[in-house]
Structure 1
């Protein structure tokens, strides 16, 4: 009996790894199918909360230096005459990593397309702006790229200087305001540099200010229609493989699902 229990414990421990191996194989097959249909290099950066550990502890993901290292390597392995398709699903992350990725995509000689099935906020938006074309699900959104200093938006920190006299402001807040001013200037300048290849300099500067200077809250959803009005190269209609890939990056299971439905497409005859 003890041998059986030990065997069951070992199998239970290795089951998540076997399951994850199968999911990875399915991901590679789906990526390869999309590459063959489009004649491109497909790169994914999908930040979901997955259960990857031995005891099922979830890890939250965001854009970090490891992401930029891997994407830059993928770009280096791509011939100059081959298009790049980047599938993005991210809440954002480190400005340094996002700028590195955006700069590398901007320099790629062939067409770069970014596919956004749900959202690409903050640093994800910065990366999207570097693409030659942004392809959205009709309900997908981007977001502002205004810098955040810890818990506070840089633009909000600067508002303190307008409301209070300097004698009433702590030294720490004054230091934060100085950093906030520099952060906004740096991000605005980078976004403008990315946009000047898609529009005239005056319009690029105006859009960079809108996105970087805190006009909206940091989680404000910018729709595809708004992006078109800004003059960005946006279209709707994702390849089916993109949705299939998203299914292969599930959220970690919880005790009680908050959303449930029968996972199949319906036609009218299904309801008869």
Structure 2
């Protein structure tokens, strides 16, 4: 059968269209298989909430991911399908997102009767930190971090808006800023109160109140890294050296946007330092 130039173009077009779909389906299947392996190993319900910038569709357009209401709907459904006596393991990697969605997830995890463990392989900032605080135990990579939960209004931190209003004469502040300041005050108070409730079953009421204020009042910038050492100082139930290897394998199945050349490269095998390479004589 003779193929013309137009036929070849159509075949190439179909291949370009179908290959990304087949690759996504293959990755999705590998993710599910890995989740099943972790569940069998830990005898728990494993839920992943992983937000990375992925290339999608035919054009490979990257999208920024964050915690939204759709995420909360899926996680709440997974928690409802989990027996009360079955532990839940949540693998969490996110820059944060909507306060409403984060609070829904955190509240549902806190109300689960069996043990809830949150695994943070790299970072869980803002709303991700709020979710982690609902767990009975937080397991982090030694270099992983959480972050403050101070609310943001648009592109501005709520705490910074309140500071501007305090520093300027009210006659020199426009109405929009005053409205934002009112919203900011409510947002900080609401988040602080919610975090306090999350912490009440982990520490004394006085300590919970103080820590909630520290995390929500805007003491640090919004991307301030709260390390394992700081979590221990805060007396939060955190472990920093027991991350299952399967969690790292799962992260590899959430690819970042493809680039022409990688910015990081290494040979992906563990080195056995007990065996020294012989030198050439």
| TM > 0.5 | yes
Distance 2:276 2:155 in 1: 49
SS at match of 2:268: coil
TM-score (norm 1): 0.97
1:52 Cα offset (Å): 2.2
The residue number in structure 1 matching 2:57 is 53
Distance 1:5 1:125 in 2: 50
SS at match of 1:253: coil
Pick from 88, 91, 94 the counterpart of residue 90 of structure 1: 94
The residue number in structure 2 matching 1:184 is 188
The residue number in structure 2 matching 1:30 is 34
Distance 1:270 1:55 in 2: 48
Instruction: Indicate whether 1:79 and 2:115 are aligned.
Output: no
Instruction: Indicate whether 1:164 and 2:172 are aligned.
Output: no
TM-score (norm 2): 0.94
The residue number in structure 1 matching 2:147 is 143
Query: Which deviations, in whole Å up to 9, do the C-alpha atoms of 1:164-223 show, x marking residues without a partner?
Result: 111111111111111100000000000000000110100000000000000000000000
Aligned length, in residue pairs: 272
1:71 Cα offset (Å): 0.2
1:7 Cα offset (Å): 1.5
SS at match of 2:198: helix
Moved over 3 A (4+): 268-272
Could you tell me which runs of 5 or more consecutive residues in structure 1 were left unpaired when the two chains were aligned: none
- Which deviates the most, 52-61 or 174-183? 52-61
Could you tell me which runs of 5 or more consecutive residues in structure 2 were left unpaired when the two chains were aligned: none
Instruction: Indicate whether 1:262 and 2:264 are aligned.
Output: no
- Which deviates the most, 170-179 or 135-144? 170-179
Instruction: Indicate whether 1:154 and 2:158 are aligned.
Output: yes
Is this contact kept in 2: 1:92–1:123, CA < 8 A? yes
SS at match of 1:222: coil
**Cα RMSD for the two superposed structures:** 1.1
The residue number in structure 1 matching 2:256 is 251
1:9 Cα offset (Å): 1.6
Distance 2:57 2:265 in 1: 25
1:271 Cα offset (Å): 5.4
SS at match of 2:96: coil
